[in-house]
Amino acid sequence: MNAIAKFFADYGAEMLQSTREHVILTLIAVLIACAVAIPLGVLLARCRFKLLVNIVMGLASIIQPIPSLALVALTVVLFYLINGLLGIRLLATLGTGPALVALVAYALLPILRNTFIGIRQVDPTVVEVATGMGMTHRQILFSVQLPLALPFIMAGVRISTVWTIGVATLVSLVGAGGLGDLIFRGLSSYKIHLIMAGAGPAAVLALMLDWLLGRLEEWLAPSGLRNTNPQ
Amino acid sequence: MITFENVCKTYPDGTEAVCDLTLEVAEGETLVLLGTSGSGKTTTMKMVNRLIEPTGGRILVNGLDIMDQDPIYLRRKIGYAIQHIGLFPHMTVAENIAVVPKLLQWAQKDIDDRIDMLLETVGLEPGEFRSRSAFQLSGGQKQRVGVARSLAADPPIVLMDEPFGALDPITREQLQDEFLELESVIQKTIIFVTHDVVEAVKMGDRVALLDEGRLQQLAAPSELVESPANEFVDQFLGKHRFQLSLMTQTVRSVGPEAIRSGYKPDTRPTVSVGLRTSLVDALDLFKKTGAATLPIYEQRRYVGELAKRGLLHTITEVLGETESFSGESNGGQDEAGGVS
């Protein structure tokens, strides 16, 4: 009991601070990714030019196989090159900036792909009936296609969120803070308690956000898909 | 009410889906578009609410060219029902029915009343079914909801694309009967698409038989069955001819020797036939009641009584006629086996 009390006395404040940084970083990255990927996914799913669809989806897929640590490092390089090209120090090459760009880039694909698939899997007859009943394109999108694609989109958001929590432990390497700070300091000085103070909250965070998003999905679910058992 | 004037639909690849179609659907009439798949029947129907746009000719609804109207508003005034897959799977029964009234911005209370009224009309208890999802319904129930939904905003015109297509034969017949009853009350102008000639003859005031985008015959069911316009129509009726004849010929065609004067009952009996009752319905009544004779009423007037023997005699004659009609086709005998 004493040991636990001592652990929190030693690391509690720092854990809290780092967790807060971690959560904020993750949420901002996922929100930006949603804001980009969901509209883009919808546009692509309704786009008739197959080539354009393939190009955009291809570009998004290129990012995924890059190891996350390499991606974080590459963002720093990219920022450095942009600064060099412009001849001024426009972008801070370390800190939250490159960290967010790397996290967003990483979070994009699952949301984009799932939105695309989610809209595409809607039965075309259902869309035709909606058209035949006199819905506008916008009404069909918001009251038929998006509700039916919601489980897919939410699955994408959940995957992205969990990934981002993981990748966000790495951005402490470019000085963006987060729970990675504790983990890396613990590892380099071989302080087991310090490693635990970083890794523990990161794991709990991933589970918690996943669960919360699951609840959100249930809450958002359209009424017809909600009550799954016949009375 | 709906007029097709030399309507054509040619696709960019040159396929002619519908060609030079001219016909008129009268107000309150049920017009059945009958044909095989690829005959252009569904294309014809979808051109009315501009799901498919004609490439030639004109379609008038209430005297107005549909191409001059905003398709969105045009569609909201035309009911639309298709096979049961057409229910929105993410909406409850009530929400499905409410779609068009909501688009038309009805007050919520009116919408609610309308939903209850329609559910009762199609034989579903509102309290039980309002909040069910599409996947909690049987095929027949889905179809009832589909019909209710197409009537939701009380449109003067309803388009129905094989509405009973995906049902088992028993449910199907039940829904057809119910719909005929409903239809006689609501008096809508209906365009009904089917590939089933028996359904066409049963449901239609008139039947338009299409083949390869061209109108082969447009006639009342009895005329279609008794005087096919050409070889194709004749073939299309094929082995169903005997059944169709029994459906289109009425008690009136039973010879006078089979209708006897009989005693006029003091009160009107619960089971009776009319002069316009079809032979098959009359036969059905005899089967159900086990009676040897049934009283005939025309409107409220007692006409006489129909003897089962006389009816059977007429049916045998019909069978003989259809057999000589269809020549080598042996389908008629198959049907005869079912009756005896």
DSSP B160-191: EESTTTTS-HHHHHHHHHHHHHHHHHH--EEE
Cβ neighbours of A230 in B, within 8 Å: 132, 136
CB-based burial label for B95 (10 Å; 0-12, 13-18, 19+)? buried
For B286, residues 6+ apart whose C-beta sits below 8 A from its C-beta are: B294, B308, B311
- Spatial strand order in the sheet of B30-34: B78-81, B157-161, B189-194, B30-34, B206-211, B214-219
Cβ neighbours of B46 in A, within 8 Å: 132
Cβ neighbours of A134 in B, within 8 Å: 72-77, 100, 103
Which of A45, A54, A39 shows the shortest CA–CA distance to A108?
Answer: A39
CB A149 within 8 Å of CB A122: yes
pLDDT at B332 over 60: no
- Cα–Cα distance, B162 to B195 (Å, whole number): 8
Shortest distance between the Cα of B51 and any Cα of chain A, in A, equals 6
Shortest distance between the Cα of A128 and any Cα of chain B, in A, equals 8
Mean pLDDT of A1-21: 82
**Nearest residue in B to A138, CA atom:** B72
**Residue of B88, B125, B136, B138 to mutate, testing the A interface (most A Cβ within 10 Å of its Cβ):** B88
Which of A154, A137, A128 shows the shortest CA–CA distance to A225?
Answer: A154
Q: Give the count of alpha carbons within 13 A of A88, CB side only.
A: 1
CB A165 within 8 Å of CB A180: no
For B28, residues 6+ apart whose C-beta sits below 8 A from its C-beta are: B1, B187, B188, B189
Per-residue pLDDT tens over the stretch B159-207: 999 888 878 888 888 888 888 888 888 889 999 999 988 898 889 999 9
CB B314 within 8 Å of CB B266: no
- Cα–Cα distance, A53 to A46 (Å, whole number): 10
Report the DSSP beta bridge partners of residue B297.
Answer: B302
- Cα–Cα distance, B307 to A219 (Å, whole number): 66
Task: Tell me phi and psi for residue B190, to 5 degrees.
Answer: -125, 135
A133 and B80 within 8 Å at the Cβ level: the answer is yes
Instruction: Assign B155 a pLDDT band (cuts: 50, 70, 90).
Output: very high
Mean pLDDT of B279-306: 81
A132 and B75 within 8 Å at the Cβ level: the answer is yes
Shortest distance between the Cα of A179 and any Cα of chain B, in A, equals 41
- Cα–Cα distance, B26 to B222 (Å, whole number): 18
pLDDT of residue B109: 93
- Closest Cβ opposite residue A128 in set B51, B89, B133: B51
Shortest distance between the Cα of A212 and any Cα of chain B, in A, equals 22
pLDDT at B257 over 80: no
Amino acid in the structure at residue A38: I
- Cα–Cα distance, B306 to B296 (Å, whole number): 6
Report the DSSP beta bridge partners of residue B64.
Answer: B61
Q: Give the count of alpha carbons within 13 A of A27, CB side only.
A: 10
- Cα–Cα distance, B288 to A37 (Å, whole number): 65
B89 and A227 within 8 Å at the Cβ level: the answer is no
Shortest distance between the Cα of A120 and any Cα of chain B, in A, equals 15
Task: Tell me phi and psi for residue B40, to 5 degrees.
Answer: 100, 5
Cβ neighbours of A151 in B, within 8 Å: none
Cβ neighbours of B73 in A, within 8 Å: 134
Task: Tell me phi and psi for residue B216, to 5 degrees.
Answer: -95, -40
Amino acid in the structure at residue B260: R
Per-residue pLDDT tens over the stretch A62-99: 888 888 888 888 888 888 888 888 877 777 778 788 88
- Closest Cβ opposite residue A134 in set B76, B82, B95: B76
Amino acid in the structure at residue B62: N
Q: Which residue has the higher pLDDT, A179 or B97?
A: B97
A135 and B49 within 8 Å at the Cβ level: the answer is no
Shortest distance between the Cα of A157 and any Cα of chain B, in A, equals 20
Mean pLDDT of B276-303: 81
A134 and B88 within 8 Å at the Cβ level: the answer is no
Mean pLDDT of B44-61: 91
Instruction: Assign B157 a pLDDT band (cuts: 50, 70, 90).
Output: very high
Which of A162, A135, A153 shows the shortest CA–CA distance to A221?
Answer: A153
Interface of B with A in 72-131 (CB under 8 A): 72-77, 80, 82, 85-86, 88-92, 95-96, 99-100, 103, 131
Task: Tell me phi and psi for residue B255, to 5 degrees.
Answer: -55, 150
Which of A202, A163, A159, A205 shows the shortest CA–CA distance to A184?
Answer: A202
How does DSSP classify residue B87?
S
- Cα–Cα distance, B290 to B340 (Å, whole number): 15
Instruction: Assign B63 a pLDDT band (cuts: 50, 70, 90).
Output: confident
pLDDT at B127 over 60: yes
Mean pLDDT of A132-150: 92
The tokens of A80 are what?
A: 């450095």
Percent of chain B with pLDDT over 90: 29
Query: Domain A17-225 belongs to what topology?
Result: MetI-like fold (1.10.3720)
How does DSSP classify residue B53?
-
Which of A174, A212, A197, A8 shows the shortest CA–CA distance to A91?
Answer: A174
pLDDT at B218 over 60: yes
**Residue of B53, B73, B84, B90 to mutate, testing the A interface (most A Cβ within 10 Å of its Cβ):** B90
CB B273 within 8 Å of CB B262: no
Range of weakest confidence among A42-46, A133-137, A188-192, B278-282: B278-282
Count of A-B CB contacts under 8 Å? 74
B75 and A225 within 8 Å at the Cβ level: the answer is no
Mean pLDDT of all residues belonging to chain B: 84
Please give the angle made by the CA atoms of A143, A42 and A47, to the nearest 5 degrees.
115
Per-residue pLDDT tens over the stretch B133-148: 888 888 888 888 998 9
- Cα–Cα distance, B238 to B241 (Å, whole number): 6
Amino acid in the structure at residue A148: L
Mean pLDDT of all residues belonging to chain A: 86
B100 and A134 within 8 Å at the Cβ level: the answer is yes
Cβ neighbours of A133 in B, within 8 Å: 75-76, 80, 99-100, 103
